[in-house]
Structure 1
């Protein structure tokens, strides 16, 4: 079995739990996921089976979209409403126009400090493991990109937003930073991931559907790289690339491309060097 399952991860299940579940259902070990989703969050979690696991990195790099509820009036050590309260304060949200102005300052490249309770590793240990052990470690700031933020609803002490962002963005940190910009402590109180690259919430399948339908819900492995331009190869070119050799080509639609043989089968991923006009193998799949 080689392919991808677009799982609708329920709240309370970790990304690792989802992978373990797929391993049991399909009785196979080679399974992995793209883009960890917090246990309390729900939404799109692409899980890769068999040879498709070699393409995980291309989905991990993809842009992501979220629907998030921000609750104002307190902060926690985890950045969401499940953590220990570290700060409280009265808060009256400003008019919608002012909210739009503040949110606009987060669009583009921003510097973000990840939550202490996150899966980022420091000296081989995950930050949340160190935090639970009482070891204080200050996460390093990182640059991420917020493509868009849209207000869906404004309530007395909450905001409902849609956020489009780059990989590596922590929505919990974004919620906290929005609150601080408004002068109000804030936490993330609800999160659902609606998109990972071409994987959408509308097409995601529930845990129950997976156990009932199995193979019927497995997507072809090239779904993960559908955003890359396509290049068709001759049999001799396929053979050279599969042997690790570069092939000469005068034109190529992009520097990174997906490669197919004459039978429309995905061969792998190639990198084009316009200076030498050589198409080099980056990742070749051995499926046939």
Structure 2
């Protein structure tokens, strides 16, 4: 069984707990998730099975959408509801229009400093492990992209702790709890993320997600295959290069793909862009566009990231 099961992770489970559950249900040891979702959060968590584990990192390249709640006037040690309250500030003077103006500044490319409770590695160790050991290190900043931030609903304006529900679509590597904390800092009152639901990862959304109970029931009825999404759909967000049949052998052996082997799709691509390499709508591998200089002229060629010995539907 090769493919992806899109799990609707409940709060209270780690991403690895979900991987273990799917491994137990399928009997397949080769399983992996496509990006950690905090234990306290719920939402979309695609689990790759079999050969699809080789595509996991490409799924994470896609953007993500979250529904989150920010509570003003409270700062916590983890920037979410599971940390210790470290400061309270009366945010009753903050109004909706003021909040909206500040939030509008958090669009496009922004700089974030991930929290110490994150899974990012520094010097070979995850930050949350160092934090548990009582160690503090300099956390490198990162540039992330906020594609859209839309306010859905808000409550308790005029009180010490207004709450705002919003949807955010962002690039990989974005910490929504850090976004909430940074918005609070910009407002001068502090804030924390009081709720989080991940509603989409690349092409995987709530509409095609299965609960753990769904998966268990389908397993008992020998219908689990109905929940498995084909590997090609996992990378639907990547552009497609269609090759000539004569190039198939070299592609499947991991050779560099040159313009002469390409039937269509290369003219719109840029350096470092990841692409699906296909023949007759069958996936042969994932390649990266790179700049090559031939006879003093630049051209785009493609080098393999992942190749499959046989094509995949």
Instruction: Report the TM-score, using the length of structure 1 for normalisation.
Output: 0.93
Q: Give 2:66's aligned residue.
A: 66
C-alpha RMSD of matched pairs (Å): 1.9
In the TM superposition, residue 211 of structure 1 has moved relative to its aligned partner by 1.6
The answer to whether the 8 A contact 2:258-2:302 is kept is: yes
TM-superposed deviation, 1:145 = 1.1
Q: Is the 8 A contact 1:77 1:116 kept in 2?
A: no
Q: Using the alignment, how far apart are the partners of 2:245 and 2:86 within structure 1?
A: 63
| 1:214-261 Cα deviation digits (max 9, x unpaired) | 211000011121122223334431111122333443552535431223
| Cα distance in 1 between the residues matched to 2:238 and 2:174 | 23
- Structure 1 counterpart of 2:110: 110
Partners of 1:219 and 1:43 in 2: CA distance: 17
Specify which of 247, 269, 287 is matched with residue 270 of structure 1: 287
Any conservation in 2 of the 1:149–1:164 contact (CA below 8 Å)? yes
User: For 1:249-288, what aligned pairs fall within 5 Å after superposition?
Assistant: 249-250=259-260, 252-253=266-267, 254-255=269-270, 256-262=274-280, 264-272=281-289, 275-276=298-299, 278-287=301-310
Shift in Å at residue 273 of structure 1?
A: 5.3
1:1-288 matched pairs, under 5 angstroms:
1-92=1-92, 94-156=94-156, 157-213=162-218, 214-250=224-260, 252-253=266-267, 254-255=269-270, 256-262=274-280, 264-272=281-289, 275-276=298-299, 278-287=301-310
Please state whether the residue corresponding to 1:216 is helix, strand or coil.
helix
2-structure distance, mates of 1:30, 1:143: 32
Q: Give deviations 1:27-49, integer Å, cap 9, x for gaps.
A: 11111111211000010111111
Q: Match of 2:29, SS?
A: coil
Question: Runs of 5+ in structure 1 lacking a partner?
Answer: none
CA distance in 2, matches of 1:126, 1:246: 35
Task: Give the TM-score of the pair, scaled to structure 2.
Answer: 0.86
Q: By how many angstroms is 1:284 displaced?
A: 0.7
| Residues 116 and 138 in structure 1, CA contact (< 8 A), matched pair in contact too | no
| Partner Cα distance (1:84, 1:11) in 2 | 19
CA distance in 2, matches of 1:73, 1:117: 21
Q: Deviations over 1:5-35 (max 9, x none)?
A: 1111110011111111111111111111112
SS of structure 2 residue aligned to 1:46: strand
1:36-89 Cα offsets, whole Å, 9 max, x none, are 110000101111111111111111111111100111232111111111111112
